[in-house]
Amino acid sequence: MSEDQNEKPPVFSTWSGWYWFVMLVLAAQIIVYYVITNSFR
Amino acid sequence: MNSIDWIILFVTLALIVTYGTLKGRGSKNIDGYLLGNKSLPWWNVCLSIMATQASAITFLSTPGQAYEDGMRFLQFYFGLPLAMVILSVTAVPLYHRLKVYTAYEYLETRFDLKTRSLAAFLFLMLRGLSVGITIYAPSLILSTILDWNINFTTIFIGSLVMIYTVSGGTKAVSMTQKYQLTIIMAGMIIAGLTAFYKLPKDISFTEAFQLAGVMGKMNLVDVSFDLTERYNIWSGLIGGLFLFMSYFGADQSQVGRYLGGKSVTESRLGLLFNGLLKVPMQFIILYIGILVFVFYQFHQAPVFHNQSLKDKAMQTEYAGAITALEGEYDEVFADKRNEAENLVDAIRKDDPMLIEQSRKTFATIQDSEKQIRSKVKEQISTALPGSNTLDKDYVFITFVMAYLPHGLIGLLMAVVFMAAMSSTASELNALASTTTVDIYKRSIKKDGDDYHYVKSSKWFTAGWAIFGMLFASIANQAENLIQFVNIVGSIFYGTILGIFLSAFYLKYIKSNAIFFAAIVAESIIVYCYFFTEVAFLLYNIIGCLVVVVLGFIFQFIENQKTKKAS
């Protein structure tokens, strides 16, 4: 097991990039679901 | 089910059990048995986490939930990605750095042995009881559908899981879960597509969406701030965040999954991908329920979805009344189908007036249908006193049995068994890890060698599996046991969460303060359960808050005493 707590993540240069990505995907999903809710009623 | 279905079901089960047993062989040391030698790549960690959370009831009950109540249940999962981010920042590097086997081991480093033992004990109580229900709940439905004896079904599922979980430990659990989840999702998507292709030929995918929307089922996001509403965006984001923080951060059945990651990176990515995939996965499962709902606007749905219970009621003097109600139900369906077609026409013409008019007529017909269904349930309830007439959980599996082609029925039955097995396996593995590492190795036999602890872990896994099966058998004779276990969960979860929140984020609180705060909090919750009318869902919040607030107060008093003494 690696002990390096500052391992460089893949794709993004820092872990913050990943955290923002996950939160942005959640925000995008909520917007899409909100649009679906209001479009199909 | 015909012979093809049985062959597919048993071959799938046999392959998974054999694969798990073979892959898990050779775990000679405790690292290998309880952590799988920390060898899992991120995608396997992610699949393992998802398979653990998704029990059989998820796949049986969620489509039924959408069928009855629409898709608003999706909001319950909105807090999950946020919890994954917070845990990736805090818990994952911490657990890896301390090289812990269980989450509770960390509590000894942060506080002391007594706090660790207390949290481990609370977890064993909570998870030990729920493992019985994880086996019992699907057994109840499967035994009804397959016409098997409930105790046999319980022992069948429990024994299959026990075989590979005892022999291979964590590695066997995680390696099988990736295939289990693949089979589960493939089976569910095939079932959804089948429902779609069985709709009248001229209805498109978008029209199915529109039809469900007009009927009030596409209620995905509710932004109103209403504390009395169980599902809205705020309860999902805030309540869900706390719930998933405690489940993924303090429950060993999940902590054990990501501790098996090769490195901090692999564990983090596993959690983060769970955050990316979980909400869309729930969307798919709920949408399958919507497709089944739309399908039943054009095909006659059963008047009562638990066919076996209805058949029993038909053996009584109430058979005549039920048959008469079924006749009424058939007549209403003819009207409903016509109006559903009118509604589709109105949607195609994109005429709001026509849509509204058709929707109102349709709603009136639906109300009549609901009333007849309620009367049937009343008749069944009177005919069979004490029977559970809630048939939501049977909607999806009844559809599968009635409308899917042979072969796929076997596959879908395998899906339910897989889901029951994957979540049970993780729970058994977590119970064995906690019993071995936090209780047995730490406080009972401290000088054993690796071989001894591996052997003990295997015995504990088998012991918890047998306990689960026994508890599931007793559950068969008790009323409202699922609710009882939810209550038990709520009694313990709040205190455990309070301990972990203080450990992670409140450095001011030290060992004695947290231990006594936890004891008082647990006593208050037990008092609430026996002597008050407080809703049990609130126990989580009360327990957590009491631990944190009292932790602060006790620590303050202790600091004052120390100051005076010095």
- Give the pLDDT confidence score for residue B388 in this predicted structure: 79
**Residue B394 domain-assigned?**
no
**CB within 8 Å of B126: residues ≥ 6 apart:** B488, B489, B491, B492, B493, B496
Question: Does residue A6 fall inside a structural domain?
Answer: no
Residues A1 and B472: their CA atoms lie apart, in Å, by 38
Q: In this complex, do B99 and A5 lie within 8 Å of one another by their Cβ atoms?
A: no
pLDDT higher than 60, residue B234: yes
Question: Does residue A19 lie in a domain region?
Answer: yes
Give a three-class secondary structure readout of B531-560.
HCCCCCCHHHHHHHHHHHHHHHHHHHHHHH
Is A28 inside a domain boundary? yes
Give yes or no for residue B100 having a pLDDT over 60.
yes
Q: Is A24 on the interface with B (CB under 8 A)?
A: no
Contact B231, B72 (CB under 8 A): yes
- Cα–Cα distance between A10 and A18 in angstroms, integer? 9
The nearest CA of chain B is from the CA of A14 a distance in Å of 11
Q: Is residue B343 over pLDDT 90?
A: no
Across B203-212, average pLDDT: 83
Looking at the structure, do residues B114 and B196 belong to the same domain, yes or no? yes
- B98 vs A: CB within 8 A: no
Are both B503 and B453 inside the same structural domain?
Answer: no
**Does B237 reside within a domain?**
yes
Instruction: Give domain status of residue B526, yes or no.
Output: yes
Q: Per the domain annotation, does A23 fall within a domain?
A: yes
- B342 inside domain: yes
Q: By the 8 A CB rule, do B135 and A41 touch?
A: no
Range in B237-241, B331-335, B362-366, B479-483 with the lowest mean pLDDT: B479-483
Angle at CA of residue A6, ends B438 and B276, nearest 5°: 75
Q: Any chain A CB within 8 A of the CB of B99?
A: yes
pLDDT band, very low/low/confident/very high, at B270 (cuts 50, 70, 90)? very high
For residues B159 and B199, state if they share a domain: yes
Judge whether residue B195 has pLDDT over 90: no
Q: Residue B395: inside a domain, yes or no?
A: no
Domain membership flag for residue A2: no
User: What tens digit of pLDDT does each residue of B110-133 get?
Assistant: 999 999 999 999 999 888 888 888
B112 and B164 housed in the same domain: yes
Q: What is the pLDDT of residues B18-53, one digit of tens each?
A: 888 887 776 777 887 777 778 889 999 999 899 888
> Which pLDDT value is given to residue A34?
92
The number of folded domains in chain A is 1
Average pLDDT, integer, range B411-421: 85
| Domain total of chain B | 3
Average pLDDT over residues B218-245: 81
ipTM of the complex: 0.91
Domain assignment of residue A4, yes or no: no
Asked if residues B494 and B539 have their Cβ atoms less than 8 Å apart, the reply is: yes
pTM of the model: 0.87
* Tens digits of residue pLDDT in B511-543: 999 999 999 999 999 999 888 877 776 787 889
User: What mean pLDDT value characterizes chain B?
Assistant: 87
- Give the minimum alpha-carbon distance from B406 to chain A in angstroms, rounded to a whole number: 34
What is the average per-residue pLDDT within B268-284? 95
Examine the domain organization and report whether B136 and B284 are in the same domain: yes
Q: Which of B478, B501, B527 is the last residue of a domain?
A: B478
- Residues B466, B493 share a domain: no
pLDDT at A6: 61
Contact A18 B213 (CB under 8 A): no
Residues B495 and B360 in one domain: no
- Say what the pLDDT of residue A4 is: 47
pLDDT score at A3: 43
Give the per-residue pLDDT at B537: 66
SS3 sequence, B224-289?
A: CCCCCCCCCHHHHHHHHHHHHHHHHHHCHHHHHHHHCECCHHHHHHHHHHHHHHHHHHHHHHHHHH
User: Is B540 inside any structural domain?
Assistant: yes
- Of B418, B443, B478, the position where a domain reaches its end is B478
Q: Which of A3, A19, A23, A39 to mutate to test the interface with B (most CBs of B within 10 A)?
A: A19
Is pLDDT at B486 greater than 70 in this prediction?
no
Range of the domain at B325: 307-389
Among A2, A10, A33, beta carbon nearest to B221: A33
Q: What is the pLDDT of residues B381-412, one digit of tens each?
A: 999 887 878 888 888 888 888 888 898 888 88
Domain end point (choices B433, B458, B478): B478
Instruction: Give the pLDDT band (50/70/90) at residue B335.
Output: confident
Element at B157 (helix H, strand E) = helix B150-197
Residues B233 and B111 placed together within one structural domain of the fold: yes
Q: How far does A12 lie from chain B, in Å, by closest CA?
A: 12
Task: Please say if the pLDDT value at position A2 is more than 60.
Answer: no
Residue A1 lies in a domain: no
The domain that contains B439 carries what CATH number? 1.20.1730.10
Is B216 in Cβ contact with A23 (below 8 Å)?
Answer: no
CB-based contact, A10 to chain B, within 8 Å: yes
Domain containing A33 equals 12-41
B370 touches chain A (CB under 8 A): no
What three-state secondary structure class fits B40? strand
A3 in a domain, yes or no?
no
> How far apart are the C-alpha atoms of B540 and B132, rounded to whole Å?
21
Chain A contact probe: residue of B234, B276, B286 with most A CBs at under 10 A: B276
Phi, psi of B261 (to 5 degrees): -65, 150
- The neighbouring-strand residues paired with B40 are B261
CA distance A33 to chain B (A): 6
- B136 and B20 in a common domain: yes
Per-residue confidence at B565, pLDDT binned at 50, 70, 90? confident
Count CB-CB contacts under 10 A for residue B229.
13
Mean pLDDT, chain A, integer: 84
Contact (Cβ atoms closer than 8 angstroms) between residue B553 and residue B510: no
Considering the domain boundaries, does residue B300 fall inside one? no
pLDDT for B9-27, tens place per residue?
A: 899 889 888 888 887 776 7
Same domain, B411 and B537: no
Please judge whether B82 and A25 are an interchain contact, meaning their C-beta atoms are less than 8 angstroms apart. no
| Residue B196 pLDDT grade (very low, low, confident, very high; cuts 50, 70, 90) | confident
Q: Which residue has the higher pLDDT, B206 or B79?
A: B79
Whether B264 contacts chain A with CB within 8 A = yes
Which of A22, A33, A34 lies closest to B272 in CB terms? A22
Q: Do B213 and A34 touch (CB under 8 A)?
A: no
Residue A12 sits at the chain B interface (C-beta within 8 Å)? no
- Check pLDDT > 60 for residue B180: yes
The three-state secondary structure class of B405 is coil
- B558 band by pLDDT with thresholds 50, 70 and 90: very high
| Chain A residue numbers touching B268 (CB-CB < 8 A) | 9, 15, 18
Same domain? For B204 and B173 the reply is yes
Q: Are B288 and B339 part of one and the same domain?
A: no
What pLDDT does residue B60 have? 82
